[in-house]
Amino acid sequence: MSAVEICEVSPRDGLQNESVVLETASKVTLVERAVAAGARRIEAVSFANPRRVPQMADAEAVMAAVPRTDDVSYSGLVMNRRGLDRALAAAVDEVNVVVVATDTFCLRNQGATTAEACAAAAEIVAEARAAGLATSVTIGAAFGCPFEGEVPTTRLDEVVARVIDAGPDEIALADTIGVAVPAAVTERLGLLDRRAGPGTLRRLHLHDTRNTGVANAVAGVAAGVDVLDASIGGVGGCPFAPNATGNVATEDLVYVFDRSGVTTGLDLATLIDAAGWLEGRIGRRLPSALLHAGPFPP
Amino acid sequence: MSAVEICEVSPRDGLQNESVVLETASKVTLVERAVAAGARRIEAVSFANPRRVPQMADAEAVMAAVPRTDDVSYSGLVMNRRGLDRALAAAVDEVNVVVVATDTFCLRNQGATTAEACAAAAEIVAEARAAGLATSVTIGAAFGCPFEGEVPTTRLDEVVARVIDAGPDEIALADTIGVAVPAAVTERLGLLDRRAGPGTLRRLHLHDTRNTGVANAVAGVAAGVDVLDASIGGVGGCPFAPNATGNVATEDLVYVFDRSGVTTGLDLATLIDAAGWLEGRIGRRLPSALLHAGPFPP
C-alpha cells in the first residue's frame, strides 16, 4: 500500500485559465468543497500583478474567508518581492515560486531569464522561510516549451541545480503545456532525485492536454513522487492550446489510485459532487472523466 | 525499442456507438484514411443482426469497397452462424467473436450465458479457421461489468480457460465499460499469459471512459501485449454511460508511444487529419486530445 499527496490547484491554476471569472464567494466555496473532500493542501491564490492576472485579483479576500484549520495548508503563488509581502500579509502557509526551464518562456512569463528567475526565487525562498512559511519552487516547462520545443535533460539538470541552490522545501517539475509521457516522467524525476537530498519533497504538476495526465501520474507514483497537483473538474486550460484541457482532474486521479491501492486521503464521491457544482459555475462542460462517467462500482 | 500493433476499430466499435449513422461512402473513406495513416489491421464491420445494430447494416457494401491489399487485414465481428456465413461471403480476413465475462451482461448482449457463448465461439472459430480465416475472441467486461459490478480474477480465469479451449489465434481482454486501471491490466494480462501458450496473440480493447485508457495501454505494452484496439478521434461511446467517451483515441496512443520509443507504424499527423475529418462527419466534438491540442513538438 503506497500513498501520494494531492495538492488541489483548481482555485489558482484552474480558475486562472478560465475566461469566466468567479466571484470571491464561489472561490471560497470551491476551497470549502475541496477541504470537505479531504484536501489538506490547496494552492488557493496567486499574488501576481492583478493587472496581468485579473482572475486572481481578490487573493486577499479569498484568504480571509477560507476555513483555517491546523491540518489544511494554503499555498499562494508568488512572482516577486511585492507578491511575497502580500502573501505574508494574507497569512498563507506556503509560498510557491515559479521559474521556467527555458529562457524564451521565462522572459515572456516573468520578464527574466531562467538564471535571473532562479536568483529571484532564492531571495523569496530565504525571506519566506525566515517568516516561517513553507517554500516550494515549480520548474515550468520541465517537459517541453511552447517556444523552444524540446527541453533537453541537460538543460533541465542545470535548472534543477540552480533551484536546489535556492533551498526550497519542495521542488516541482511542471508539464505546463501537457506534453510529458510516462517515460519522461520517470527519467526527469530520476534526474531530480540525483540532485536533491532526501529531505527535499518532489512534486509533479501535470496537465492532461494530450491525454497523458493519468499515465504520467501513475508513473510519478511508481517513481516515488511525494505530491501531485490536480484540479477538481480538470478546470482550467492551456494558454498555448486554446481548445485543450487543463490540469489533470483530481477525481480522475483519485479513481485510478483508489483502484490501485494508492492512498490519497480524498473522497471520490465528494470530489465528483464538487466537480459538478464547479461545472455549473463555469458554464461549460469540464473535461473530468469521472464527472461524466460516474464511479465504478456504481 | 519495443513495438505494438494498433488495430483500428473506429469503423466498427466507434461508429456502432454513435447516434449519427454514416453513409457507406464515409465509412469507406474512414478506412482509406486509416490505411493511409499506416493501419494494417482494421475491424471494419460487424455482421450482427441489422435490426439490432442498424449502424452496421451495410457491412457487405463496406467490405466490397475498401482497398484490398496483401498487407491490410480486415476483421469483422461475428455473433453467430448467420454472421459467419456473411463474413465468409464478404471475404473478410479475420473474424472476431465476443463472449462476455459475466452471465448477466452476456445474456443481455447475445442471449447466452458465458459458457454457452464460449461453446458457440468454439464452433465459429473452428469453421472460420477451416475456411482459412484468422480468428480472435474478445472477452467483454473483463475488468468490470455494468450489471454485476466487479469481475473477480477467478471468474475471468475460468472464462479465459474456456476461450483457450475454443482455440483462437488471439484472445483480447476488453474493458468494455472503461473501468480498468494499470494495475488490473498488468494482473489480468498475467493471468492470460499463464493460461495461453506463447503462440496465442494477446490483445487489449480499451475504452477511455474514466480517463485511464492511455495509462492502461502503457501498462499493457510494459506487460508485452501484442495488439491494442483504438479508434480514430476516440469516436464512439459507452452504452452504459451516455455522457462518456469511447474507445481510446488512436492518435492519443500514437503520441505517447512515439515519444516513448514504442513503434506503432502509424503516422500521427495523418491520424490527426483523419480525426478532424471524422469530427466533421459525426458533427460533435470528439474526445481525441491530440486533435484539439495538436502534436508536440509542433
Q: Is residue B260 part of a domain?
A: yes
**What is the span of the domain harbouring residue A79?**
2-293
Tell me whether A298 touches chain B (CB under 8 Å): yes
Decide if B122 touches A, using CB distance below 8 A.
Answer: no
- Contact predicate B208/B234, CB 8 Å: yes
Suggest the residue from A151, A188, A210 to mutate for an interface test with chain B (most B CBs closer than 10 A).
A210
CB contact under 8 A, A179 and B150: no
pLDDT recorded at residue B1: 60
Q: Considering its fold, how many domains does chain A have in total?
A: 1
pLDDT of residue A239: 78
User: Can you name the residues that pair with B140 across neighbouring β-strands?
Assistant: B100
Provide the pLDDT for residue B197: 83
DSSP codes joined into one string, A7-47: EE-IIIIIHHT-SSPPPHHHHHHHHHHHHHTT--EEEEEE-
3-state secondary structure chain B: CEECEEEECHHHHHHHCCCCCCCHHHHHHHHHHHHHCCCCEEEEEECCCCCCCHHHCCHHHHHHHCCCCCCCEEEEEECCHHHHHHHHHHCCCEEEEEEECCHHHHHHHHCCCHHHHHHHHHHHHHHHHHCCCEEEEEEECCCCECCCECCCHHHHHHHHHHHHHHCCCEEEEECCCCCCCHHHHHHHHHHHHHHCCCCCEEEEECECCCCCHHHHHHHHHHCCCCEEEEEHHHCCCCCCCCCCCCECEHHHHHHHHHCCCEECCCCHHHHHHHHHHHHHHHCCCCCCHHHHHCCCCC
Nearest residue of chain B to residue A211 (CA atoms) = B289
Q: Is A144 within 8 Å of B296 when comparing Cβ atoms?
A: yes
Is the CB of residue B296 less than 8 Å away from at least one CB of chain A? yes
B contact residues 198-257, partner A, Cβ 8 Å cutoff: 208-215, 218-219, 238, 241, 243-245, 249, 252, 255-256
Please list every residue in chain A whose beta carbon sits closer than 8 Å to the beta carbon of residue B243: 292-293
Digits of tens for pLDDT over chain B (298 positions)? 699 999 999 999 999 999 999 999 999 999 999 999 999 999 999 999 999 999 999 999 999 999 999 999 999 999 999 999 999 999 999 999 999 999 999 999 999 999 999 999 999 999 999 999 999 999 999 999 999 999 999 999 999 999 999 999 999 999 999 999 999 999 999 999 999 988 999 999 999 999 999 999 999 999 999 999 999 999 998 777 777 889 999 999 999 999 999 999 999 999 999 999 999 999 999 999 999 999 999 8
Asked if residue B298 belongs to a domain, the reply is no
Q: For chain A, which ranges sit under pLDDT 50?
A: none
Q: Please say whether the beta carbons of B214 and B253 come within 8 A.
A: yes
Give chain B positions within 8 Å (CB) of A213. 211
Is A152 inside a domain boundary? yes
Q: What beta strand segments (E) does chain A contain?
A: 2-3, 5-8, 41-46, 73-78, 94-100, 134-140, 170-174, 201-205, 227-230, 262-263
- For residues B226 and B247, is the Cβ–Cβ distance under 8 A? no
Query: Nearest-CA distance from B292 to chain A in Å?
Result: 6
Residues of A in contact with B298 (CB under 8 A): 149
A214/B293 Cβ within 8 A:
no
Minimum CA–CA partner of B262 in chain A: A183
Are B297 and A144 within 8 A, CB to CB? yes
Does A244 contact B293 at a Cβ distance shorter than 8 Å? yes
In a domain, B32, yes or no: yes
Shortest distance between the Cα of A243 and any Cα of chain B, in A, equals 6
Q: Do A289 and B208 touch (CB under 8 A)?
A: yes
Q: With respect to residue B267, please indicate whether it lies within any of the assigned structural domains.
A: yes
Residue A187 Cα, gap to closest chain B Cα (Å): 11
Chain A stretch 29-88, residues whose beta carbon is closer than 8 A to a beta carbon of chain B: none
B208 contacts A182? CB cut-off 8 A = no
- Cross-chain residue pair B144–A297, CB shorter than 8 Å: yes
CA pair distance A122, A144, nearest whole angstrom: 24
Closest residue in chain A to residue B187, using alpha carbons only: A260
Residue in B7, B106, B145, B238 annotated catalytic: B238
Residue B170 lies in a domain: yes
**Looking at the partner chain, which of A179, A214, A297 has a beta carbon nearest the beta carbon of B150?**
A297
Chain A residues lying within 8 Å of B177, measured CB to CB: 296
Tell whether A298 is covered by a domain.
Answer: no
Letter for the amino acid at B156?
A: L
Q: Is B246 left (phi over 0), alpha (psi -120 to 50) or beta?
A: beta
Query: Which of chain B's residues have a Cβ under 8 Å away from the Cβ of A249?
Result: 211
CATH of the domain at A160: 3.20.20.70
Q: Is A238 part of the annotated catalytic residue set?
A: yes
Contacts of B259 in chain A (CB under 8 A): 179, 181, 183-184
Q: Which of A211, A271, A291 is the best substitution to test chain B (most B C-beta atoms within 10 A)?
A: A211
Do B213 and B231 form a contact (C-beta atoms < 8 A)? Answer: no
Query: Which of B243, B244, B260 is opposite residue A183, by nearest beta carbon?
Result: B260
Q: Tell me whether 0.85 is exceeded by the ipTM.
A: yes
Q: Looking at residue B239, what is its pLDDT?
A: 78
In a domain, B121, yes or no: yes
